[in-house]
Amino acid sequence: MGNGDKKAEIQMPHCFGAKELWDQVRQVTYEDVVRYFYQPTDPSSLGIIRFFFGLLMLMDLLEERGGADIDLRWGNPKDCHFPLFPVLVNPGFPWISIMYFFMWLGALGIMLGLKFRLSLFLFGISYWYILLLDKSFWNNHSYLFGVLVILLAGSSANHFGSLDGYFDPSKKNKHVPYWNYFILKYQFFMLYFLAGLKKTDMEWLQGYSMSNLGHHWVFLPFRYLLSSDQIDYLIVHWFGFLLDLTIGFWLLIEFTRPVAMFFCAAFHLMNSRLFSIGMFPYVCLATMPLFCEETWPRKLQTLLSIEYSPPTPSQSCIYRKEQIEAYIKVEKSHKSDCIRDKVTWKHKMVVALLMCHCGLQVFLPYSHFITKGYNNWTKGLYGYSWDMMVHSWNTVLVVVKVVDNDTGREHFVDSEAWTLNERWSKHADMCLQYAQCLRRNLIGNLKEQTNSELTTNQITSENISIFLDVWCSLNKRFQQRMYNPQYDLLNANWSPFQPVEWLLPVLSEYNDFRKTMDDISEEVYSWSNFSDVLFIADFPGLYLENFINDDLRNVTLTVLEGAVAYEVEEESELQSTGVKLRKGDSVPIEVGLFHKIHTISETPSIYMYTFTRIESSEEEDVSEGRQNVMYSPFPLFEDFQQRVDSFLKMWGHIGNSVLYLLFGRPFNIRSKIKG
């Protein structure tokens, strides 16, 4: 037989093997899938992950959940909150404090594995209620923590290293079904992979999402080879994109897992210093062992010469007949009826629910074509979308105007008066909720006062209109309006399934202008250490009303595109003087006066302010303080005293609430202090 025949003989079995493999796949039944998910696995890794998740949730309760500031976040009944569902309302400071108590009790129980199901219920119900009560505090990882609680609720994570196992031997060191590991591993795989898919956005790949990170000390080793701008582009954007997109696959492969875990751990530790994202990096670090073999703690015990007992059969798993026979042979005390070998309808239902969850996690990040009412310049709410850090915002102005329709007077309200953060202003649905909240507060103030107490600075009737003008920049673009400032939000036509009709489009046709903006900025910054520039774009027929503070000098307006009319209001003469400016024209701006800039061209106008800030020693002290924080160790060590103080404050709030509910003892609510 020639070489050609031998080659043919080698290839044929490969072809037949592929066909046989396909035939075997086709013969797999749903019951086989159920048996696969319910096969027995070692509980040790899951128990360790459960312990650290509970511990980190105790810390998260003090940080992002705001345990130390319950009174500031939930104590003022006039503060505006933004629930996902209208039926969710703030029950008040005392009852919210009780929810925090249940969350703390639940997180402690999760960590210790004590009354595991009850602990998950107490933590999960309170956590999800508080999370859904205010969308303005949503983060991707906040959603992740809530999902992990739901997934753990169906698991047997208390079969190792738990007090439940200590008090109940039937739960001590017992096998857990493989799906307990699979679903958690799937959740974190999709966390990385979907974050990578979201970073295929050209805004990220072109380096416009993140800026000025290359100066941070965590990138110090890279600065020997790269400039700060190159670090931002190559390390932050491109390496971050490739790591998110592929790290899940590298973690699944045993050969590449050690290197992948090193890069993944370094990535999360760097993020913990770069961003204020609470316990998210540490939760990811604590769950990285999900991608290892379930028996890694046993191997570690063997390596350290520590004796251990192998796990014993559990009724929560499905065993093969040969496994049952082996257990009965080794341990005579085992009876065959104590070990399951048959698939029941409950097993099938659980696997079906797991598959639904897997599909839902793929669908939700791309479901924004349905929930159009939550879309703005970006798709959907920041939470389940996994578009982490893809969009950066810079807001310079939020104007809230209230018009008394009976008198025609205009009143301006501080946008921070009854709000806890500024994220609401980027989402049309929350702007609508804010307008309704503002109306309730204003009407409530009106009813509390008599006609003799009213002044010209207050509304005189319930017949009012509310207008919102938000100026912000998305990913280094111009500052521009986000909403139509002439749209009355109290009469808004909004639906979760329809596009927002008062939303103005982002001026993406000027995206290429960002390179010109960088060049101009570099030139302006070279003038002095205190020179700065602000780029603005506006729509035809609209105007910007602005006031220049006295702490600025050499303020100049320059038109880059289109045409504007610059108008100054002379307070002494109560009249306006104006001048028309076209592309390339400049005019000095008077400080301490209001002025208007009307866009009179048929296309959007683009202009810039250049100015010099007055040197301030306070700014230098602040920058030095930030630099010191930047070079400090990891927060788990540096913030120990702060965490202790936060813990004591939280329990002070809880104690005051209990005394109020039981004995009517009054409590004090701190007031917000604007920074």
Which amino acid makes up residue 510? Y
What confidence category does residue 652 fall into, taking pLDDT thresholds of 50, 70 and 90?
very high
Residue 10 has pLDDT above 50, yes or no: no
Give the DSSP letter string of 531-547. EEEEEEEE-TT-EEEEE
| pLDDT at residue 550 tops 70 | yes
Written in H, E and C, the secondary structure of 572-596 is CCCEEEEEEEECCCEEECCCCCEEE
In this predicted structure, which of 185-199, 287-301, 374-388 has the lowest mean pLDDT? 374-388
pLDDT at 56: 96
CA distance 472 to 469: 10
Question: pLDDT at position 91, please?
Answer: 93
Range 258-267 average pLDDT: 96
**CA-wise closest residue to 115 among 60, 49, 157, 163:** 163
Q: What is the mean pLDDT of residues 172-188?
A: 96
Whether residue 625 has pLDDT greater than 70: no
Q: DSSP letters along 40-83, please?
A: EE-SHHHHHHHHHHHHHHHHHHHTTT-GGGHHHHHS-TTS----
What radius of gyration do the chain's Cα atoms show? 30
pLDDT at 641 over 90: no
Q: Of 115, 135, 199, 426, which residue is the catalytic one?
A: 199
pLDDT band at residue 637 under the 50/70/90 scheme: low
pLDDT at 449: 67
Task: Find all residues with CB under 8 Å of 107, minimum gap 6, and list them.
Answer: 54, 57, 58, 61, 119, 123
DSSP 8-state class, residue 450: -
What's the pLDDT band for 96 if we cut at 50, 70, 90?
very high
What is the per-residue pLDDT across 515-544, written as a single tens digit (0 to 9) for each? Answer: 999 999 999 999 988 999 999 999 999 999
Q: Is 199 a catalytic residue?
A: yes
**How far, in Å, CA of 671 to CA of 675, rounded?**
13
Does the pLDDT of residue 627 top 70, yes or no? no
Specify the DSSP class assigned to residue 401.
E
Which two tokens mark 433? 């909720």
Q: Which pLDDT band holds residue 176 (cuts at 50, 70, 90)?
A: very high
Share of the chain residues as helix, strand and coil, in percent rounded to the nearest 5: 50, 15, 35
What mean pLDDT value characterizes the chain?
87
What pLDDT shows up at residue 21?
A: 64
pLDDT digits (tens, 9 = 90+) for 22-37: 766 777 899 999 999 9
End-to-end CA distance of the chain: 87
Q: What percent of the chain has pLDDT over 90?
A: 66
Residue 121 backbone zone (phi > 0: left; psi -120 to 50: alpha; other: beta): alpha
Cα-to-chain-centroid distance, residue 391: 12
* Model pLDDT, residue 566: 92
pTM for this prediction: 0.89
Question: How is the chain split into domains, by residue range?
Answer: 3-32, 44-169+616-675, 180-275+347-389, 392-505, 531-614
Domain 531-614 CATH class label: mainly beta
- pLDDT exceeds 70 at position 674: no
Average pLDDT estimate for 641-655: 89
Dihedral sign for Cα atoms in the order 628, 630, 634, 638: positive
Predicted confidence (pLDDT) per residue in 318-371, tens digit: 998 888 877 777 665 445 556 888 899 999 999 999 999 999 999 999 999 999
pLDDT at 324: 81
pLDDT at residue 211 above 90? no
What pLDDT score was predicted for residue 465?
A: 95
Statement: residue 158 has pLDDT above 50: yes
What's the rounded mean pLDDT across residues 47-73? Answer: 94
Residue 583 burial (C-beta neighbours within 10 Å; 0-12, 13-18, 19+): middle
Whole-number pLDDT of residue 629: 42
Average pLDDT over residues 257-283: 93
Query: Best-predicted range by mean pLDDT among 166-170, 456-460, 535-539?
Result: 535-539
More confident residue, 570 or 175: 175
Block residue for tokens 């207050």:
458
pLDDT at 279 over 80: yes
Instruction: Check residue 623 and give its pLDDT.
Output: 45
Given pLDDT bands bounded at 50, 70 and 90, which one contains residue 3?
very low
- Looking at per-residue pLDDT, the higher value among 569 and 407 belongs to 407
β-pair partners for 206: none
Higher-scoring residue by pLDDT: 182, 443: 182
Higher pLDDT, residue 454 or 281: 281
Q: Is the pLDDT of residue 451 over 70?
A: no
Q: Is 352 left (phi over 0), alpha (psi -120 to 50) or beta?
A: alpha
The three-point CA angle 276-280-283 to 5° equals 150
Residue 311 and residue 173 in contact, taking contact as beta carbons nearer than 8 Å? yes
Torsion of CA 89, 95, 101, 106, to 10 degrees: -50
For residue 457, what pLDDT band results from cuts at 50, 70 and 90? low
Q: At residue 634, does pLDDT exceed 60?
A: no
pLDDT tens per residue across span 225-234? 999 999 999 9
